[in-house]
Structure 1
Amino acid sequence: MSITHLDAVRPPRDNEPAPVLLTVEEAARCLRIGRTTCFALIRSGELESLLIGGLRRVPADAPAAYLARRRAERQAS
């Protein structure tokens, strides 16, 4: 399973698909950061998110993409 589906997010039950969208809190747990820090990453555009109705959601692959970009930046420097 990908890094976006760490033990921080409830594993799917039998015959239940993996989540496509995460709450901000779930994304924060995946990244092992606080909720406020996660919202700051979203506000700055570093972490992709969507507004659905009045709910902020993070695509399940966004935390892994964020980490990949951070790693690439670190290796480039």
Structure 2
Amino acid sequence: MTADAELLTVPEVMALLKISRPTVYGLVHTRRLASITFGRARRIPAHALTALLDTTGRTNPGDDGLDGPAVSLSKP
């Protein structure tokens, strides 16, 4: 990971994907979403979120509940 890689909080991932906290942690615990833990703080690298979206078949409705419009991770 590079020094300028963006790290997202669980609430930020929840908002971006419009999913619940247990769903985010479920993805982390099943290793479908990579994360980093600093003490008690968990962060999700932006590239890990992109990789999850690329592998979930986000263009195929009904796959796993993560369907919907593409999510932009870039800041305006």
The reply to whether TM is greater than 0.5 is yes
Moved over 6 A (4+): none
Give the percent of matched residue pairs that are identical in Structure 1 and Structure 2.
36
What is the CA distance between 1:19 and its match in structure 2?
Answer: 7.1
Q: How many residues align?
A: 56
The normalised TM-score by structure 2 is 0.63
The structure having more radius of gyration, on CA atoms, is: 1
Question: 2:45 maps to which residue?
Answer: 59
Kindly state the Cα deviation for residue 38 of structure 1 after the two structures are TM-superposed: 0.5
Gaps of at least 5 residues in structure 1 are: 1-17
Structure 2 stretches of 5 or more lacking a match?
61-76
TM-score by length of structure 1 reads 0.62
Match of 2:22 among 30, 36, 52: 36
- Distance in 2 (CA, whole Å) between partners of 1:46 and 1:22 is 16
Q: Which is helix-richer, 1 or 2? A: 1
